[in-house]
Amino acid sequence: MSQTTSATGDAVKTSTAVRQALSVARMTTYDAAASGDSGLALDLYRWNAEVSGAFMTPLHICEVATRNAVSEVLEGLYGPQWPWSRGFEQSLPRPSRGYKPLQDLLNARRGQPTLGKVIPELKFVFWQKMFTGRNDARLWIPALRHTFPNIGTTQSVRQQRHGIYDDLEQIRKLRNRIAHHEPIFSRDLAQDLAVISKLLGLRSSESELWLGQIETVTGLLSNRPC
C-alpha cells in the first residue's frame, strides 16, 4: 500500500469518525452547503466554529457598552442603586407569558451587594427590552442623544430608539445561535458585524475604531471554504 493510499484512508477514517461524533443529523446542513462533499462539509463546520468564536469579541464589547449605557440612564433617573429601586420595579412590565423582566431583575440582584455585580447577571434581552416604546417618555426622549452622542438628529428620538431595538434583536439572534453552536454561515455575517460596530459607534466612535483594529471576523469572512 502506497503512502498516498494510506494517507487517504486515514483521512476518510478520521472524517467518518468526526462526522459520527458530531452526528449525522447535525452535519446535514453543512453537507447541503457543500453539495454532498463530506470533506468540504467538515471544512465548513470548522470555519463556522472559527467565525463564531471570532464574533465573541465584538459581541462582548458591544453588549458591555450597551448595558452600561442603559445603566447610566437608569442611574440618572432612579439613583445608583436602581436595581433595588421600587419605582424602577414598578416601571417594568408584568407579562403573563414569555420573558419576565421583573423576575429577571429579582433573580439578578439576589445575593448581590453592588450594582456592578447585578449588571452582568441580567440577560441580554433585559437590556434590549429597555428600548421599547413604553420607555420613551421616561428614558429615551430625555436621554437618548446624550447617552448615544453619535446618533445624529436626522430621525426622531422614537425612530432612533426603535432602530437600536432592531439592531439589538439582530445581535441577540446571532448571539443565541453562536451560544447554542448552531450554523451561522448562511447569515450575512459582514452585515452582522457592521450592525455591531455601528451600535458601538453610537456610544463611542473611539471604541468603534478600536474594535475595527482588533476584530478577526473580517479576515475569516474571506476564507470561507464554500
pLDDT at residue 15, rounded to an integer: 85
- The vertex-83 CA angle with 80 and 86, nearest 5°, equals 100
Report the pLDDT value the prediction gives residue 149, as an integer from 0 to 100: 98
Residue 13's closest CA among 48, 49, 38, 41?
Answer: 38
Q: In a structure prediction context, what are the per-residue pLDDT tens digits for the chain, which is 226 residues long? A: 455 555 566 667 888 899 999 998 999 999 999 999 999 999 999 999 999 999 999 999 999 999 999 999 999 999 999 999 999 999 999 999 999 999 999 999 999 999 999 999 999 999 999 999 999 999 999 999 999 999 999 999 999 999 999 999 999 999 999 999 999 999 999 999 999 999 999 999 999 999 999 999 999 999 999 9
pTM, full prediction: 0.93
Report yes or no: 73 and 138 within 8 Å, Cβ to Cβ.
no
Q: Looking at residue 6, what is its pLDDT?
A: 53
DSSP label at 224? -
Q: Are 198 and 205 in contact (CB under 8 A)?
A: no
> Residue 101 corresponds to which cell in the numbers above?
423582566
